[in-house]
């Protein structure tokens, strides 16, 4: 079972790992070797401006982007920045995703985030979520995740607090309807 790229993993209520509780994770890559995703709704107590200042990157403090929260993208390489953004060519270390999205890990995008050269929409995350071959599939079988097609407006246009409920609502499920029990026919 492969092919969860451009899908959300919605954490089921039984998933109580603090990194993933009530999380919405965008799957960037999924193949025979495993999967890689970025949690898009767990804000850190760090603003984009704070991170840029720490990295000694000049920024525009008046830019709305400077005041955005950085997200905890996942437990892997949590000291490394990942920018999930609407497509904009020209950055080093960018990976084209589906649905007009890209993920970029190079420093050159950070220089642009508070300028008019920034991608139209972006989320800056520290770290990512990773799964080894077969691990994600097993977690889905174990009822840890609900898998739905990703929607860009959920990633970029909603508050972090709204994303989990809105993602479940896209398939007609209200959060109180989710159960901790795995379904077996």
The CATH code of the domain that includes 16 is 3.40.1740.10
Q: What is the pTM of this model?
A: 0.90
Cα–Cα–Cα angle for 65, 72, 130, nearest 5°? Answer: 130
- Count the domains in the chain: 1
Q: Is residue 118 within 8 Å of residue 112, measured between CB atoms?
A: yes
């990194």: which residue's tokens? 19
Please report, for the chain, how many H helices and E strands are present, in that order. 5, 10
CA distance 111 to 177: 43
pLDDT, tens digit (0-9, with 9 covering 90-100), for 134-170: 999 999 999 899 999 999 999 999 999 899 989 988 8
Residue 38 lies in a domain: yes
């Amino acid at each position: 079972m492969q092919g969860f790229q451009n899908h959300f993993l919605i954490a089921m209520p039984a998933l109580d790992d603090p990194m993933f509780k009530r999380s919405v994770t965008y799957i960037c890559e999924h193949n025979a070797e495993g999967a890689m995703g970025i949690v898009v709704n767990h804000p850190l107590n760090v603003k984009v401006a704070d991170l840029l200042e720490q990295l000694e990157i000049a920024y525009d403090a008046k830019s709305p982007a400077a005041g955005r929260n950085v997200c905890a993208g996942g437990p892997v390489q949590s000291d490394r920045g990942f920018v999930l953004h609407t497509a904009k060519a020209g950055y080093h270390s960018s990976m084209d995703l589906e649905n007009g999205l890209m993920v970029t890990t190079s420093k050159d995008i950070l220089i642009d985030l508070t300028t008019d050269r920034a991608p139209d929409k972006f989320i800056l995350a520290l770290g990512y979520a990773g799964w080894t071959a077969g691990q994600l599939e097993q977690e889905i079988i174990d009822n840890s995740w609900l898998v739905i097609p990703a929607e860009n407006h959920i990633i970029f246009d909603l508050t972090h607090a709204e994303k989990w409920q809105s993602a479940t609502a896209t398939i007609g499920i209200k959060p109180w309807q989710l159960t901790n029990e795995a379904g077996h026919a």
